[in-house]
């Protein structure tokens, strides 16, 4: 049942969930626990040798995921259901594989991705909630979520998001198309959800920080189209903490299960 980790054989798509507070991001790092590192170690245990894993995206330390996708080729004949159980036996408790399916040979978790959907959770309360410490950003003062929702619509469509990304990224083309951008309230929690064909480095967190400033009355909603047009990072809001962010879905166009 050993796989060689090389091209050929089956091409498998795994979907994982993880608590980002336990990892220093998704991509492999030296001397730091990461999602990809933990998964590759689990694959090593199951297949008996190294496996070349392709990830749909990179997440920062503290960012969570309900649908983090990776793909890899393997010669192994282990059925998907058994592979899920085997990998989860070796993964740390903060991460789990919950879906495995065979995909076409040319499928690539990153390059076949059509888009992603993220959700950011804000606890809008004077009192902290111990159960949300690692999964929500607490704002103790009142936020006007309705104004935030109206302002969020300015992100819909195709724009240059240079003003809404952090320095350090190597991407040259910063135009992205956003098809979902909304804010709503559930009790003491305010949630921001966005979906698009791609996202720049810290883009969702900067958009969230901008909306928070608008909800707090520290910034006018008109500042969003102004920042988009100018492409100036200083015209957008702060970068919201990683803890409130979760990757909810990765979009692919794949045939029925092989």
What does the chain come to in residues?
Answer: 258
DSSP 150-201: HHHGGG-EEEE-GGGS-TT---S--EEEEEEEEEEEETTEEEEEEEES---T
Q: What three-state secondary structure class fits 23?
A: coil
Q: What three-state secondary structure class fits 85?
A: helix
Are 63 and 242 within 8 A, CB to CB? yes
Task: List the one residue out of 120, 164, 146 whose CA is nearest residue 221.
Answer: 146
Number of neighbouring beta carbons within 10 Å of residue 17? 17
pLDDT in tens, the chain (258 residues): 334 344 668 999 999 999 999 999 888 788 889 999 999 999 999 999 889 899 998 889 999 999 999 999 999 999 999 999 999 999 999 999 999 999 999 999 999 999 999 999 999 999 999 999 999 999 999 999 999 999 999 999 999 999 999 876 678 899 999 999 999 999 999 999 999 999 999 999 999 999 999 999 999 999 999 999 999 999 999 999 999 999 999 999 976 665
Q: Which residue's entry shows tokens 């694959």?
A: 43
Quickly list H helices, 52-158: 80-90, 145-152
Are 42 and 87 within 8 A, CB to CB? yes
As a whole number of angstroms, the distance between CA 189 and CA 164 comes to 24
Are 152 and 122 within 8 A, CB to CB? no
**Residue 169, pLDDT score:** 64
Are 163 and 181 within 8 A, CB to CB? no
**Catalytic (active-site) positions:** 60
pTM value > 0.75: yes
Tokens describing residue 105: 């040979």
**Residue 8, pLDDT score:** 67
DSSP 33-82: --HHHHHHHHHHHHHSS----EES----TT-EEEEEEEEEEE-----HHH
């Amino acid at each position: 049942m050993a796989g060689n980790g090389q091209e050929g054989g089956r091409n498998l798509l795994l979907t994982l969930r993880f608590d980002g507070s336990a990892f220093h991001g998704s991509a492999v790092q030296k001397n730091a626990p990461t999602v990809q590192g933990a998964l590759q170690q689990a694959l090593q245990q199951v297949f008996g040798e190294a496996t070349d894993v392709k990830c749909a995206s990179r997440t920062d330390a503290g960012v969570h995921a309900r649908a983090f996708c990776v793909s890899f080729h393997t010669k192994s004949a282990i059925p998907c259901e058994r592979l899920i159980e085997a990998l989860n036996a070796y993964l740390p408790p903060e991460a789990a594989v919950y879906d495995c399916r065979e995909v076409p040979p040319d499928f690539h978790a990153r390059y076949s991705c059509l888009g992603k959907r993220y959700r950011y959770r804000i606890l809008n309360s004077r009192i902290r909630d111990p159960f949300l410490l690692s999964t929500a950003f607490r704002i103790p003062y009142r936020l006007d979520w309705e104004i935030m929702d109206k302002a969020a619509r300015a992100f819909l469509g195709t724009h240059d998001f240079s003003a809404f990304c952090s320095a350090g990224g190597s991407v040259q083309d910063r135009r992205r198309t956003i098809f979902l951008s909304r804010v709503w309230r559930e009790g003491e929690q305010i949630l921001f959800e966005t979906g698009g064909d791609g996202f720049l480095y810290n883009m969702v967190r900067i958009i969230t920080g901008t909306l928070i400033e608008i909800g707090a009355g520290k910034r006018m909603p008109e500042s969003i189209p102004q920042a988009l047009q100018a492409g100036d990072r200083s015209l957008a809001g702060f970068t919201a903490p990683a803890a409130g962010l979760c990757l909810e879905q990765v979009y692919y166009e794949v045939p029925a299960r092989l």
